[in-house]
Structure 1
Amino acid sequence: MSRSWERKVRKNMSTVNKARKKQGHSMMSPGAEKMDRFTGRNIIMPVMLLLFVGAYNVLMQTDPNFNGGAMYWTTIVAYVLLAALFFFRRPYLTVGKDYVQSRRFTGDKRVKAADIERITVLKGYVVVRPKKGAGWTFSRLLNRFKTDDMAKRLEAFASAHGIEFEQK
């Protein structure tokens, strides 16, 4: 292909992307992989941390020798920041062409379709079991995932890659 043709394609793609962005649609890119991303919201852990901070505050205030030094306020601020981190780092599940990816405590993890043993769907829960390691559980109650939509997409993913799919 000539360079002028590639420049025309890039220019037209940027024009189309600007128009799509104004209309509220996702942007297009040539050769982009189709992947579905399901996001949740972590509410339980931040609430538990804030309750812990409250209990810590009440217990420290009842101590007659309490002076409220810098270490006390550093601890309070650190736990509040940790709660904010858990709240704003949204859990997700991305289903790609031949992989699933999710955020775990140790960072983002990706498992290829060949390394998935089974996908189990229960009412309000979706469990992806890799061949090695612990299963990934996605819950409607704890993390506010749309488990019905996830189940439909993972069923198509499992049938495309010959993975055992179990719905209870």
Structure 2
Amino acid sequence: MSRTWERKVRKNTNQINKARKKHGVSQIGTTSSGKPKTDRFTGRNYIFPIVLVLMIGMYTFMVTSAPDFEPSTMLWVTIGCYLFLALIFLLRRPYISIGKDYIQTRKMTGDKQLPVSNIKGISVQKGAVIIMQHKGANWVFSRLLNRYPTDEISAKLKDFAKTHNLPFEEK
């Protein structure tokens, strides 16, 4: 389908849902909570925070071991900011969300959504799931790096690929 047609359908669905919501009737294309049904799997990012803490530890050791070292406020502010950044990356959990016709995840630059039309194929290995794009880098979801539940993700992606006639490869 063309994108303009999809936008028209989405716009009309939103208008109808607003009217149905006023009358207390269940909405179209949504679950009982009012949001479209998606399967969301979260991981845990622990490697980048550990690297940041090690780097700030190395920086602190090198700066404080210099013979002409004089403690300053800026040193402690820098250390505090890097530790805060490591904490943010530890608490900001990566995820993959599998919707009706898209896959969404969080990258360094923000949330990214990949529609079905941009997916070349899906490959599943033990401990890793790879979503191949027509343009751009592949999305890799790994049990080792980000603690994703790859077995559950691969089961949902298999259904997703079957629904949208996408190549699905298990290694």
Taking structure 1 as the reference length, the TM-score comes to 0.82
Identical aligned pairs, as a percentage? 44
Q: Could you say which residue in structure 1 is the equivalent of 2:95?
A: 92
Secondary structure at the counterpart of residue 163 of structure 1: coil
Cα shift at 1:118: 1.0
After superposing on structure 2, the runs of 4+ consecutive aligned residues of structure 1 that deviate more than 4 Å are 5-8
Q: Distance in 2 between matches of 1:90 and 1:63?
A: 38
Q: Could you say which residue in structure 2 is the equivalent of 1:130?
A: 133
Deviations 1:128-159 (A, max 9, x none): 11111101110101101000000000010011
Q: Distance in 2 between matches of 1:97 and 1:148?
A: 20
Secondary structure at the counterpart of residue 102 of structure 1: strand
- Please state if 1:83 is matched with 2:118: no
Q: Distance in 2 between matches of 1:28 and 1:73?
A: 50
Cα shift at 1:81: 1.1
Query: What are the within-5 Å matches in structure 2 for residues 17-166 of structure 1?
Result: 28-30=32-34, 32-166=35-169
Unaligned runs of 5+ in 2: 1-19
Q: Could you say which residue in structure 2 is the equivalent of 1:22?
A: none
Deviations 1:11-42 (A, max 9, x none): xx8xxxxxxxxxxxxx9324x32110000000
Q: Could you say which residue in structure 2 is the equivalent of 1:9?
A: 24
Q: Could you say which residue in structure 1 is the equivalent of 2:16?
A: none
Cα shift at 1:97: 0.2
Q: Distance in 1 between matches of 2:86 and 2:112?
A: 22
Cα shift at 1:9: 2.9
Deviations 1:93-146 (A, max 9, x none): 000000000001111000111110011111100011111110111010110100
Count of residues paired in the alignment: 149
Q: Could you say which residue in structure 2 is the equivalent of 1:16?
A: none
Provide the aligned C-alpha RMSD in A: 1.9
Taking structure 2 as the reference length, the TM-score comes to 0.81
Deviations 1:27-65 (A, max 9, x none): 9324x3211000000000101111111111111121111
Q: Distance in 2 between matches of 1:132 and 1:115?
A: 7
